[in-house]
């Protein structure tokens, strides 16, 4: 048999043996297969159970790449091939190909489905089971896209689509595996569309149910507009004006607004929230602003207090640091309606916190809060039962292709324009051998009055991960910058100490802050002008963009340096170059999604990302849009009955087995 690409061979097992190695728990099982042209060595790593099945004198099919591996001395070798036993007497059946003695019609001479391994079920057994079910029961599956199929380019039936998904070519068309790989098959489109449509019908129904609740009507007259203009310290961007109009339209409907306000760092989300709160207060309602950390809540409070200083409105701050009599007095004022806007952390969710007339809830960095927490705050309605409006804000750009999915129950507003005066952060990607150069640049930046962040991926060193650890790296920073004040923060530092250190950096009493990604959100230091990120290849693009957003928040020209380690792959280095080429967070997020997929791109906190069996959130976004539009039409016409429950096949729907 020749050396080359993946091939399928049939041969008799001449010998087989289990080889135990010096590494504990590591085994090699080796079988010699003779296909008539010479011996082929089959090698399996950590699969000792094969010794009970892959026995001499048996005949097997083997599929894999045959190579001349130096570590196995001589001859052709297949490492971890797929194997199936050749059983005498089987005949080829079904469409395509002619009958042949000893041929397995589902495993040889055709495009074969590859399933993940299941205990006690070989791939061959699983193929036969799936084939039996499709042959006998697929035509009994309920068809939910009758008239929709006519409108949507006459999509194939569900039965044929499932048959083609498992056994391409069995529905009468060509066995074109590439059409599936490239996501061009109409049978794949049919399955994707139905999956997305079921999802969108549920999403749109939830929107409708929430829209039925009453909410305060917040409308501005000319006197209120004058109060809003008086709050503004600067001119709004066109994007801010557009978003404020969208929020104003929601406020006037009398149903609860549920709007996501997303925008890059520095795009001006806070002023939009403050103007919304001023309008609510002018209409007699209170506003709650919730942030994920005390330092971010305090920074929001400082900004809001400054903006509202001459407005006549009463803002307040409630965090875990407000205790005793001061806390009791604040809660009494809140319950009595004498506080118009309350800024806080999770403390706002506690039972003693009661509003007299809560009309608006603003949640910043919304991905840091769970659905239950958002619901608990929104449930603090006034005595009339009216539900407050909800505005959630995110500085983590959400790829446009995911907004339909992740926040399909929210209206999305985007601030895609930065206020005047904001300058892009100059970004460079360098090998870690340039670290000394970066330290010299940090020293020069501090001499000129700036401050610097140094971000590393680990809290402490690991034997399994080759990356910088913050505590040890802080010592290296102190040696390189002996005259500078260096602080350290990470997730294991007690919250009070962490907040104190970050506060000292914000106040200018520290020159360098060495940190893990705890600084990704929740710290605003306009004087910080240099960001150094170690082992940048270990972070996602969206996360790197968020970290880069910690600098460039003031008038100082700012820089970001991304150092990659010696073991960073060429693909990782290429990925980092995206940040050199753009400072648009939405472009960065789209690239991150393309390269890493929705789960990784959004991080483990995004536990609400739906996992579709067939659909691809990036490549099938056009089908998601069609599904959304069709779901709206179905609900409007009351034709959503087939999608009111998830698709489940009951035993009663199936005919009796032969």
CATH number at residue 61: 2.40.50.140
CB atoms within 10 A of CB 198: 19
Q: What is 534-548 written as a DSSP string?
A: TTGGGS-HHHHHHHH
Residues 395 and 491 in one domain: no
Residue 313: give its domain's CATH number. Answer: 3.40.50.300
147 in any annotated domain: no
522 in any annotated domain: yes
Torsion of CA 619, 622, 626, 627, to 10 degrees: 20
**How far is it, in rounded angstroms, from Cα 634 to Cα 66?**
54
**How far is it, in rounded angstroms, from Cα 261 to Cα 248?**
13
Residues 502 and 364 in one domain: no
Residues 573/537, Cβ–Cβ less than 8 Å: yes
Strand order in the sheet with 27-34: 66-67, 76-79, 39-45, 27-34, 7-20, 59-64, 82-85
Residues 35 and 82 in one domain: yes
Residues 474/514, Cβ–Cβ less than 8 Å: yes
pTM of the complete model: 0.67
Residues 542/589, Cβ–Cβ less than 8 Å: yes
Residues 343 and 397 in one domain: yes
Copy the structure tokens of residue 248.
């104003």
Helices (H), 81-142: 123-137
Identify the CA nearest to 527 among candidates 606, 453, 440, 429.
453
| Residue 27, beta-bridge partner list | 20
Final residue in a domain of this structure, among 86, 106, 141: 86
Helix (H, G, I), strand (E, B) or coil at 92: coil
For the chain, the residue count is: 658
**How far is it, in rounded angstroms, from Cα 61 to Cα 200?**
44
Residues 362 and 442 in one domain: no
105 in any annotated domain: no
pLDDT number for residue 151? 55
Strands 66-67 and 76-79, bridge-based pairing? antiparallel
**How far is it, in rounded angstroms, from Cα 651 to Cα 403?**
37
Maximum pairwise Cα distance, the chain: 94
For residue 289, the surrounding DSSP H or E stretch is: strand 286-290
Distances (CA, A) of 158 to 258, 291, 547, 624: 36, 47, 46, 18
115 in any annotated domain: no
Final residue in a domain of this structure, among 66, 86, 106: 86
Final residue in a domain of this structure, among 415, 450, 476: 415
pLDDT digits (tens, 9 = 90+) for 95-117: 333 333 344 556 666 777 777 77
**How far is it, in rounded angstroms, from Cα 552 to Cα 426?**
9
User: 321: buried, middle or exposed (CB in 10 Å: 19+, 13-18, 0-12)?
Assistant: middle
Identify the CA nearest to 146 among candidates 190, 199, 195.
190
Helix (H, G, I), strand (E, B) or coil at 472: helix
Distances (CA, A) of 189 to 89, 177, 197, 616, 653: 38, 14, 12, 11, 25
Residues 349 and 449 in one domain: no
Query: 529-554 burial string, b = 16+ CB within 10 Å, else e?
Result: bbbbbbbbbbbbbbbbbbbbbbbbbb
Identify the CA nearest to 200 among candidates 635, 628, 656.
628
Residues 326 and 466 in one domain: no
Residues 82 and 230 in one domain: no
Strands 512-515 and 486-489, bridge-based pairing? parallel
pLDDT digits (tens, 9 = 90+) for 445-492: 999 999 999 999 887 655 555 567 788 889 999 999 999 999 999 878
**How far is it, in rounded angstroms, from Cα 165 to Cα 408?**
28
Residues 383 and 430 in one domain: no
150 contacts: CB under 8 Å, gap ≥ 6: none
CB atoms within 10 A of CB 482: 7
pLDDT number for residue 44? 92
pLDDT number for residue 649? 44
232 in any annotated domain: yes
Residues 279 and 249 in one domain: yes
Residues 411 and 445 in one domain: no
Residues 402 and 450 in one domain: no
Strands 286-290 and 358-363, bridge-based pairing? parallel
Ranges of the chain whose pLDDT falls below 70: 1-4, 69-74, 87-109, 146-153, 172-173, 365-384, 397, 399-409, 419-422, 460-467, 520-523, 595-611, 645-658
| Residue 31, beta-bridge partner list | 16, 42
**How far is it, in rounded angstroms, from Cα 544 to Cα 534?**
11
Helices (H), 427-531: 435-447, 470-480, 495-506
160 in any annotated domain: no
| Residue 121, beta-bridge partner list | 118
pLDDT number for residue 74? 62
291 in any annotated domain: yes
635 in any annotated domain: no
- Look at the chain and report how many structural domains it folds into: 3
Supply the range of the domain harboring residue 65: 7-86
Q: Where are the beta strands (DSSP E) in 46-94?
A: 59-64, 66-67, 76-79, 82-85
């Amino acid at each position: 048999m020749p050396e080359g690409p993946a091939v399928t061979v049939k041969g008799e097992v001449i010998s087989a043996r289990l080889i135990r190695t010096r590494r504990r728990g590591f085994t090699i099982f080796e079988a010699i297969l003779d296909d008539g042209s010479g011996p082929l060595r089959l090698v399996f790593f950590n699969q000792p159970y094969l010794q009970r099945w892959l026995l001499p004198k048996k005949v097997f099919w083997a599929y894999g790449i045959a190579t001349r591996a130096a570590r196995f001395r001589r001859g052709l070798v297949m490492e971890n091939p797929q194997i199936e036993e050749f059983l005498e007497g089987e005949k080829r059946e079904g469409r395509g190909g002619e009958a042949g003695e000893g041929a397995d019609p589902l495993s040889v001479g055709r495009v074969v489905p590859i399933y993940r391994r299941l205990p006690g079920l070989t791939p061959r057994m699983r193929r036969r089971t799936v084939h039996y079910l499709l042959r006998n029961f697929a035509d009994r599956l309920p068809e939910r896209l009758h008239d929709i199929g006519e409108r949507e380019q006459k999509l194939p039936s569900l039965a044929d689509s499932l048959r083609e998904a498992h056994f391409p070519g069995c529905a009468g068309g060509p066995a074109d595996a590439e059409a599936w790989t490239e996501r061009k098959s109409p049978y794949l489109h049919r399955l994707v569309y139905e999956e997305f449509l079921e999802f969108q019908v549920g999403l749109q129904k939830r929107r409708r149910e929430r829209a039925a609740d009453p909410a305060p009507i917040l409308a501005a007259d000319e006197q209120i507009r004058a109060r809003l203009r008086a709050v503004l310290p600067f001119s709004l961007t066109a994007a801010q004006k557009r978003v404020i109009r969208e929020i104003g339209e929601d406020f006037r409907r009398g149903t609860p607004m549920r709007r996501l306000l997303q925008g890059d760092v520095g795009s001006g989300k806070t002023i939009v929230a403050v103007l919304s709160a001023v309008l609510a207060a002018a209409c007699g309602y209170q506003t709650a602003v919730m942030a994920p950390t005390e330092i971010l809540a305090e920074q929001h409070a400082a900004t809001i207090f400054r903006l509202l200083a001459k407005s006549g409105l009463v803002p307040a701050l409630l965090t875990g640091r407000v205790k005793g009599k001061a806390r009791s007095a604040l809660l009494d004022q809140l319950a009595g309606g004498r506080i118009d806007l309350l800024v806080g952390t999770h403390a706002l969710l506690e039972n003693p916190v009661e509003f007299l007339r809560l009309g608006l809830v603003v949640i910043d960095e919304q991905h840091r809060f769970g659905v239950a927490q958002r619901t608990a705050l929104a449930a603090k309605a006034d005595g009339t039962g009216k539900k407050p409006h909800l505005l959630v804000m995110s500085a983590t750009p959400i790829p446009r292709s995911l907004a339909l999915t992740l926040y399909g129950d929210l209206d999305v507003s985007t601030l895609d324009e930065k206020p005047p005066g904001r300058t892009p952060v100059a970004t460079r990607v360098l090998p870690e051998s340039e670290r000394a150069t970066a330290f010299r640049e940090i020293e020069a930046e501090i001499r000129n009055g700036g401050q610097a962040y140094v971000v590393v991926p680990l809290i402490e060193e690991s034997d399994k991960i080759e990356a910088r650890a913050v505590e040890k790296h802080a010592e290296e920073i102190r040696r390189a910058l002996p005259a500078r004040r260096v602080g350290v923060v990470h997730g294991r530092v007690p919250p009070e100490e962490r907040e104190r250190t970050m506060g000292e950096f914000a106040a200018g009493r520290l020159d360098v802050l060495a940190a893990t990604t705890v600084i990704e959100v929740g710290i605003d230091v306009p004087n910080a002008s240099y960001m150094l990120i170690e082992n940048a290849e270990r972070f996602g693009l969206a996360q790197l963009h968020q970290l880069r957003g910690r600098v460039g928040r003031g008038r100082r020209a700012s820089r970001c340096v991304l150092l990659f380690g010696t073991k960073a792959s060429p693909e990782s280095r290429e990925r980092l170059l995206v940040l050199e080429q753009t400072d648009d967070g939405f472009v960065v997020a789209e690239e991150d999604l393309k390269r890493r997929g929705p789960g990784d791109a959004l991080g483990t906190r995004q536990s609400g990302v739906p996992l579709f069996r067939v659909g691809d959130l990036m490549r099938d976004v056009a089908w998601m849009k069609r599904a959304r539009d069709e779901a709206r039409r179905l609900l409007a016409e009351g034709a959503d009955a087939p999608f009111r429950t998830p698709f489940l096949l009951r035993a009663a729907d199936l005919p009796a087995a032969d």
